Amino acid sequence: MLRGWGCRTSFSGGLCACVVFITSFFLGDSSACLGQVQVTNLNPGQSIDLAQLLNSNPSSVQIGDKVFGEFSVVPSDTNALAGDDLQLTALSNQIGFGISLSGPMSAIGNVTEDVVVRFSVAVTNSSQLISDVHLDYNSVVFGAGFSSVIEDVFTGGFGGTLVDQIDVLNLGGTNEQLSAAANLPTPEQKIYIQKDVIFGGGAVGNQNASFISIIDQTFSQVPEPSTMLLSFAGFATLLFVKRRK
């Protein structure tokens, strides 16, 4: 029993049930339980095959102070890029914690690939809400090649309230790192991301091609209003006490 962390765990028949606690990745544990969903902790730079997160009882990954879950991959046809082809890597940069997707995202000749990737992201520290979404991806195109990532940001579930959209496009340039960001109207504890990744050679011939190496996703955070109010009140109290002295 982990009383100090507000979590109660019990073992019966080899099963683990966790009430409200996700083991922090700083503890170095490989996994924890949130309800009935398996949560795998990843340190920045560690990777997991996305296929492991795409089963009938979806798993989640915790990276720093964020939990990523409810993954799905919907290819345009049976021969298109699928979840089995993609890898998820834990990301940490100056913006914050996030994820990086990589895999054989390439199209040569008169071929177009279209795949939709969905996932949710929630902060475990409710005092640091998600304020904006950052999208970066590396794309190389040749000839008539092209690539794009259209990203919808929802609250209240996939197909819920659309709060913003990011659209990045590469129609030329042999080596392009594209970036875009969206500010949320209101900071949120949990949001839902839907990425439509489209890339193609654009015309017949090996000289027409498109390649995407990495798609990165990070999130800026701000204190929730109540936390800011408490901080301001504490600061004001300190000034009052200092003035009285």
- pLDDT, tens digit (0-9, with 9 covering 90-100), for 39-60: 899 999 999 999 989 875 668 9
Pairwise CA distance, residues 63 & 46, whole Å: 10
Please provide the DSSP assignment of 93-139 as one string: -SS-EEEEEEEEEEEESS-EEEEEEEEEEEESSTTEEEEEEEEEEEE
* HSE of 1, CA atoms in CB hemisphere, 13 A: 2
**With a cut of 50, which residues of the chain have pLDDT below it?**
1-35, 224-237, 240-241
Q: Are strands 112-123 and 190-200 parallel, antiparallel or unpaired?
A: antiparallel
Residue range 97-145, pLDDT digits in tens = 999 999 989 999 999 999 999 999 999 987 899 999 999 999 999 999 9
- Looking at domain 67-244, which CATH architecture does it have? Sandwich (2.60)
Beta bridge partner(s), residue 113 = 199
pLDDT of res. 37 = 60
The secondary structure element, H or E, covering residue 200 is strand 190-200
